[in-house]
Structure 1
Amino acid sequence: MAARGRLERLLAAPTPFSKDDGSADPAVVAALAEQDLPHHEYLDRLLAALTASRLIVPVAAHAVGGPTQLRLGEAASAVPVHEPHTADAAQDAAELAVRLDDGHLALPVFTSAAAVAAWRADVRPVPVTPQRAAQVACAQTDQLWVLDAGTRDLRLPRPAVVALAGGEEWIPSWRNEPVQAEVASQLGAVKGVTGVAFAPGEQAELRVFIRVDASAGTPAVAAALEQCQYVMVNPAWGEFIDTVELCPVPA
């Protein structure tokens, strides 16, 4: 009786997605189509469109006992353990987390019900707010989304997911002056570094140019660059910078 009453309350509760037909948001489709843009501009526009829309997450017929951690491109073969769903579709979706090629765990999020079906036929699509999907990704995966797993397999920047989870605007590191100032300060303290500059990365999120004094010889330059790499692998940067390209510039 208690379970029946709970179900009735859930069915009676208002939902912002009552008229959602599972189609992709036209604004998101348009942003995805702008692949001729530089990578950083493409991601900037895509994230803006996604956060203003809704996302679809996959929910298994029965919640499984733990993250399946499928790698991208893998098909599900194990029979899931039958356990009751929570009242939170995004939290249930975390049980279907995807293991990326770099080993990180990401929440699969989709632009449409058709994209979910193309990934796995044994799950159902459930619309959720981007903020809730971000909160679950931060709590139960490595603070990452993978968009349209199985077709696009697009990994979205961790700092964008973290910012959205907290209800904040994502400011990419390539135009985040306070973050750049702190990075420059720490790298500038390394012996031999005489200048630091920034630009959007081509593959990584941020490109960091480091001017190194070459007058002390190759071993000194190598030691300076090693120390710069040590500075940039600090986990404290994780919520502000997703990936970095270090580009030494001999002085």
Structure 2
Amino acid sequence: MAAQLASAGGAEDTGGQAWAGRNLGEGTSHTHLFPDDDGAAVPAVVRALAALRAGTGDEAAVVAALAGTRVFVPVLAQVSSSTVTDAGFVADKEADMALVSLRAADGRAVLPVFTSTDALGAWHGSARPVATDVRRAALAAVKDGTQQLVLDPGSALPFVVRRPALWALAQGRGWTPAYRSPAVQEAVRRCAADLPGVVSAATAPGSGVAVRDADGTEVPGGGAGPELAVVLALRPGLDRARLDDVVARFQARLSTERSLAEDVDSMQLRLTTAGGAGAAGGAATGRDRLSRPGR
């Protein structure tokens, strides 16, 4: 430690290389992509998150506000090789830089991104913030097989960007939640058509759309999923065998729909009777069947 302190402010780095003549500024590989960036959160994103928390906004507005903005991805550096110089200085010869990846409750890889350096620092004091535009972060996530982004993990209101929204950001296009998509609604109705015992099929927000903030208040967006509920209304009187057959045939049809594969991250199937609460044959209300049509 004494040797390291003695080297501070010297004419050479710890490897013995002179500082004089080096260009670490404009035009080098070290040039910052956002040279005037103060590390603060983008105001439009802050406003969209505040509106979501207040109940006046939705998750589609948050994703729209994120499009084209700068975010920070956390990178951790770990020295893989070092040496001690003749002067007693510890010199790093090699260091590995790695993006941080998380795991969701269902096992899928999640890329954490942050609106500000303060948010990243509060989450992990040793992580280094690397500024990038959100589209590049989304493209990198898609390339690595990561299916979700989580915005500001560890904050009062983390926000999950699920796979369809992640793909939309990567492609630079707008995103409509599956529960509001006319194409998804039509696909669900088409899959239910002519099935024996099925009266109707509809879509609604799933139980995973909402999330709770640090105070326990429910916020209508930013949850990890499932984001789509498919409500299948059945004719009363179906026994268990017929109920299972109808559900299996319906799910088989759903798996072939391209719009569902592209626009739905995960869904839950809710069975009801046409004029009552629970489906016949012992399928109790609330026992949703969960599936993930995404590819």
TM-score interval, smaller chain: 0.7 to 0.9
Q: Percent identity?
A: 33
RMSD: 3.0
- Report the Cα offset of residue 214 of structure 1: 2.6
- Residue 34 (structure 2) pairs with residue 21 (structure 1): no
Equivalent positions of 1:77-116 (< 5 A) are: 82-83=95-96, 93=99, 96-116=100-120
- Provide the residue aligned with 1:213 in structure 2: 235
- Provide the residue aligned with 2:172 in structure 1: 167
Equivalent positions of 1:158-197 (< 5 A) are: 158-188=163-193, 190-197=195-202
Q: Tell me the number of residue pairs that the alignment of Structure 1 and Structure 2 aligns.
A: 219
Gaps of 5+ in 1: 65-80, 86-91
Contact 2:191–2:254 (8 Å) recurs in 1: no
Larger Rg: 2
Q: Give the one of 124, 146, 149 matched to 1:142.
A: 146
More strand by share: 2
Separation in structure 1 between the aligned mates of residue 183 and residue 257 of structure 2, nearest angstrom? 17
Contact 2:64–2:174 (8 Å) recurs in 1: no
More helix by share: 1
Separation in structure 1 between the aligned mates of residue 191 and residue 178 of structure 2, nearest angstrom? 16
- Residue 29 (structure 2) pairs with residue 10 (structure 1): yes
1:61-86 CA distance string (max 9 Å, x none): 3599xxxxxxxxxxxxxxxx933x5x
- Provide the residue aligned with 2:17 in structure 1: none
- Provide the residue aligned with 1:120 in structure 2: 124
TM-score, normalising length: structure 1: 0.74
- Residue 70 (structure 2) pairs with residue 54 (structure 1): yes
* Paired residue type of 1:46: V
Separation in structure 2 between the aligned mates of residue 126 and residue 195 of structure 1, nearest angstrom? 50
Instruction: Specify whether residues 36 and 63 from structure 1 end up closer, same or farther in structure 2 by C-alpha distance, changes over 3 A only.
Output: farther
Contact 1:97–1:141 (8 Å) recurs in 2: no
Gaps of 5+ in 2: 1-21, 81-93, 209-225, 275-295
Separation in structure 2 between the aligned mates of residue 243 and residue 219 of structure 1, nearest angstrom? 26
Q: Secondary structure at the match of 1:102?
A: coil
